[in-house]
Each structure stands twice: as structure tokens, then as C-alpha cells.
Structure 1
Amino acid sequence: MADTPTSQITGFAAAWTIVFVWAFWLIVSRIASGSGLTIFDLAALRYGLAALVGIPLSLYYKPWRGLRLSQIAILSFILGPIYILCVFAGFLFAPAAHGGIFMNGVLPLVSIVIGVSLFRAEPTSRQVFGSVLILISAVILAWDGNTFGSEAAWIGDLLFLVGAVFFSFYIILSERWQLGAMQIIFCGTVVNAALYLPIWALWLPSGLADAPLGPLMLQAIYQGFVPNLMGLLFIAHASRKIGNANTSTILAAVPGMGGILGALILGENLSLISILALIALTIGLLIAVRKRRVLPA
């Protein structure tokens, strides 16, 4: 049965809410290095604090009953430490703006490649053209302002691209498997917390004990609760209601929104080239967003 117009509206609203959430996440992650926390600490906050909410909910709803063991393993791996540590490590080499550009900016193209390669999904010419325009605009935003000044930036960019591949798989599977909220919380937080936290506590370097309280609380609240709980659930809802192609394309607005918030919050200047690139990116979004088509079973 096709989704009603109201459900599609909630899907688009959820996707655009995540644009703002992730754009703020770029700002928060940009200042994380000043908190004294390691990337392993950030991952521990992400899984550990979210699990405080996820464990009692999972014990009550028992979401594993609706999943095969293979689905639990795949989803937990996709949302697991390899994905998030690649993302956090990327900020050690490349400017924070590259995170939005090389993760969210390439999501439409990555989703197209995965869809064609694994699921025989045929993208429309509009979808391809809009996605290419988004990617070109994102690259212009990256180059503008000499953001490629670091010789090691390409390492961070590759790590961000790895993160984009992981997340594209998550978006696609959220739609194809029609994942529920509790299934996502269980696999994305509870399972990964159980696997990662003992390893972090016993063997990984940590600056948690020496971190100033203010920056620690900011990172704890935002890394631990906002993207991992609210973000995953909203994206899953958007993928179910408007499809993974529309969701991926809307999330590609994060680089532009991150640039705007950077200018408003951090005082970073937006040049004329950046403004034109943001306009082109928005046009690409309008071109690429399409009505959802029913996927084959």
C-alpha cells in the first residue's frame, strides 16, 4: 500500500531535521580536539550513553524477535566501531567541513553505485544529474578558502568516504528491511556497546579522566544521544516513507548547512564562490529528489 501524503510529509520533515542535526554535529566535532578526548572516547560516549536508553527499551520491547541473526550481525557491523572510528579519525587529518562534504555530499552517488551493483536498482537521469551537480558543488565548497592546505587532508577525506559507504548501506537496508525504531536502537547501540566498551576500557587510550567538564558534557550529550538515537531513528523513518534515494539526496545538504552554521556560529566567512556553490547544491537537491518507487521484494 502506498504511503499517504501525510506520511511522506513526515518523511521529508525527518530527513531535513537530520540535516540540521548533522550540521551541528560538524560544529561540535570540530571543537572536540580541544576537549582532550581521544577518538576512542568519542566512540565510547556514542555507544555507551545511548545504550543507557537502549538497554531498558530493548529489554521491554525485545526487538531481536523480528530480526534474523544475520540481520543483527550485518546491521550492528554497519553501525559499529569501524564506521564511527573512521569518521572520527577523519577529523584528525582533514578540516571538519570535509566531513559533511565527503560523507553526506557523496551519499547520493554512493547509494546509486550500491543500488546498481547489488540490488539492480536503475537510477533515473534526473537522479544522476542532480547527484553529480551536488558532488561538484561539494567539491567546490571543499576547495574554496584553501581548505586543502593540509598535505594529509586526503587521508581524512578517504576515511570520510569509507564512512559514507557504511552509511549508504544503512540507509538502503533501513528501507529494504523496513527496520523499526527499536531494532535500530538494539543493533546500533546495545550490541555495539556490549562489544566495544570492554575493549575501550581495557586497551584503548583515553583522555576522559582529564577532560574539562564543560567540553566533556557537550561531547557526551551530543555524541552520545543526538546523532546516535535521534539521528538513526529519523533517518530510518525517512527511508521508509520517502525512500533511500530521496533521503540520501536531502542529507547531501549537510555540507551547505554546515557552511552556513560555521559562518553564523564560528565566524567563518562564506565567499561568493561558496555562496554560488551552495545555490548549485540546492538546485541539485531539487532536481534529484523524486517520488518514491516501490522496490522489488
Structure 2
Amino acid sequence: MIATVLGASRDPVLEQRIGFACAIAILFVWTGFILASRAGARGVLTPWDLAALRFGVALVALSPLMLRGALRDIPLQRVLVMGATAGLGFALFAYNAFALAPAAHAAVLLPGALPFVTAVLAWAWLGEAPTSRRVLSLLVVAAGIALLAGSEFFATPGAWRGDILFVIATSSYAVFIVLVQRWRVSAIQATAAVALGAAPLYLPVWWLALPSAIAEAPWQEVVFQGFVQGLVAMVLASLLYTRALVALGSTTVSLFTAVVPALAALAAWPVLDEPLGLGALLGVFLVTAGMALGVRRGRVDVPLARP
């Protein structure tokens, strides 16, 4: 059963159903990740601790797959690149950003900026020229991000630094997405490669040199963040996203992720007590609308000429 879900099915109907199920699950996984990460960054644990829990728990959980040869067909340099992008690059910048900026900023700039960077990289590396509708959608997303930044720029001290880190984290993950498509890596291989490519490099450095408060943190917080960051956000999210990407393609998956900015930003209001102003609400709406517009099929989708 697990092999059927994680491996590509020869039945196109079943393949589509699996893809849609994974895409729907991504909504809740990404929303939970944003809320839990912001809560963790505001707690006792340092951003470096959150990254250590993410990589350490994921490495242990994925060890059986690695021992069974899940990565035998993947060159070492590709494993390291995937670990550096979706692993180190995304996590280290994102967790430090969560310590500086509210969850609403993460909700917009992580899933919101992702199609931006992905579209540019796919055009440059894969020759996938964006359609006119896609360009329009990205402009709407840009307006939403600018509105959010303008309305909330000085609301939280240092938030602008977190916003920059969120964009860098998103860009790093976008590189991973394009490479997975280019290399035709399966969901299991991509997830295992991220853990194996990041954990052995990061954990010794964290243990010896990086600030840590894991010894002072309540064990309940350590267990909770280890579960969320290592199993849910690292293993489950990577499997779901990559599997949905393989089954449905990046355009269709973006339709579902378009809901994440609004869902996470609104949930942060009661859960984390981070209210949104009118400008921020409008910014979240524009990002969500722009992402949905970009994946809507229509006759006006005219490919742009590549220079």
C-alpha cells in the first residue's frame, strides 16, 4: 500500500486521486508548520535547535529507507545539492526568520514567493516560458507582498530582516523543486536525499559551535517540535509535496498551495495572538488571489516568447 502511494501508479485515475489527496494534505501540513515554527522561535529553543530537531529526527526516521538503498541511483553530488537547498538553505534561513517576523509574513513569503522564484528558474533551466496569465498572477502576488511589507514594515521590530530571510529560504526551496523536476527524482528519493545531505553536515556543527537552549527547554516542547519539524514538516511535507508534484505537476499543485497564505495568516490571529491590520489582510488576499489566478486555465494563457 505504501509503495502504491509513494511510487508512481500506472493507473492514471488512481495517480490523479493520490496526487489530489497529497495536495490537500499539504495545506494542513504547511499551515501547521508555519504556526508551530513561529511558536517555537518565540519559545526557549533557538532557531538552530529547531533545525537540529528537524534534521536529526528526519535522519532517524528515514534511515530504514536509506539502508534499503533508496538513494542507490542518485549521485552523491545530487544528494548534497538537495540537502543544501531544501535542507540547509531552507531550514536555517526560515527558522531564523521566524524569530524576527510574524507568522503572517511567513504565510505570504514562504508559499507566496515560491511560484515567483520557481517560475523564473523553470524558465531559465527548463525552458518553460511563463504564460501571459502566469505573468499577471505574479504581478498580483508582488503587489500583495509589497502591500504586506508596507503595512507591517515597522509593526514588528526587525521584521524586515525576517522577511528577507523568508525570501532567501523560499528561493532555496525553489531551486530544489526545479532540480527534482529536472532530475526526475521520486518522492522517497528526494525526501531521503534532503535528510542525508543535510543532517551529517549540520548536526556536528550545531553540537559544537551553535547557540542552543535545548537543555533548558521543557521536554514537552522538545518532543513537540521534534515531531512537527522532523516528522511532519521534513518527512511528511517533503513526501506529500514531491508526490503531488510527480502526479499533478507544479501548476496544479500551486492551486492548492494558493490557500496556504490566507489559511496560515488567519490562523495565526487566534492561535499566536498576532492580529492583522487592514493592509496586511489585503496583502494576504492579493497573494492568494494571484496564486489562484496563475493556475487557472483559460484561453488567454498565451506563452511569452523567450528572449
TM-score, normalising length: structure 2? 0.84
SS in structure 2 of the partner of residue 149 of structure 1: coil
> Counterpart in 2 of 1:57?
65
Name the Cα RMSD after superposition: 2.7
| In structure 1, distance between residues paired with 2:165 and 2:258 | 17
For 1:84, which of 88, 91, 96 is the aligned residue? Answer: 91
List alignment gaps of at least 5 residues for structure 2.
1-8, 298-307
SS in structure 2 of the partner of residue 225 of structure 1: helix
> Counterpart in 2 of 1:255?
261
For 1:159, which of 155, 165, 168 is the aligned residue? Answer: 165
Gap change, CA 1:5 and 1:122, over 3 Å in 2 = farther
Q: Give the superposition deviation at 1:178.
A: 2.4
Q: Give the superposition deviation at 1:167.
A: 0.8
> Counterpart in 2 of 1:68?
75
> Counterpart in 1 of 2:35?
27
How many aligned positions are there?
290
Q: Give the superposition deviation at 1:5.
A: 4.5
| In structure 2, distance between residues paired with 1:119 and 1:25 | 30
Gap change, CA 1:4 and 1:141, over 3 Å in 2 = farther
Counterparts of residues 1-297 of structure 1 (less than 5 Å): 4-60=12-68, 62-144=69-151, 146=152, 148-248=154-254, 250-269=256-275, 278-289=284-295
Amino acid at match of 1:222: V
Gap change, CA 1:26 and 1:245, over 3 Å in 2 = same
Q: Deviations over 1:266-293 (max 9, x none)?
A: 45545665555555444434321157xx
Q: Segments of 4+ in structure 1 off by > 6 A?
A: none
SS in structure 1 of the partner of residue 110 of structure 2: helix
Amino acid at match of 2:49: D
| Contact 1:174–1:240 (CA under 8 A) maintained in structure 2 | no
SS in structure 2 of the partner of residue 19 of structure 1: helix
Stretch of structure 1 that moved more, 172-181 or 227-236: 172-181
List alignment gaps of at least 5 residues for structure 1.
292-297
Q: Give the superposition deviation at 1:22.
A: 1.3
SS in structure 2 of the partner of residue 183 of structure 1: helix
> Counterpart in 2 of 1:294?
none
Q: Give the superposition deviation at 1:222.
A: 0.6
| In structure 1, distance between residues paired with 2:286 and 2:99 | 29
Q: Give the superposition deviation at 1:138.
A: 4.1
| In structure 1, distance between residues paired with 2:98 and 2:225 | 15
Q: Give the superposition deviation at 1:75.
A: 1.3
| In structure 1, distance between residues paired with 2:17 and 2:145 | 27
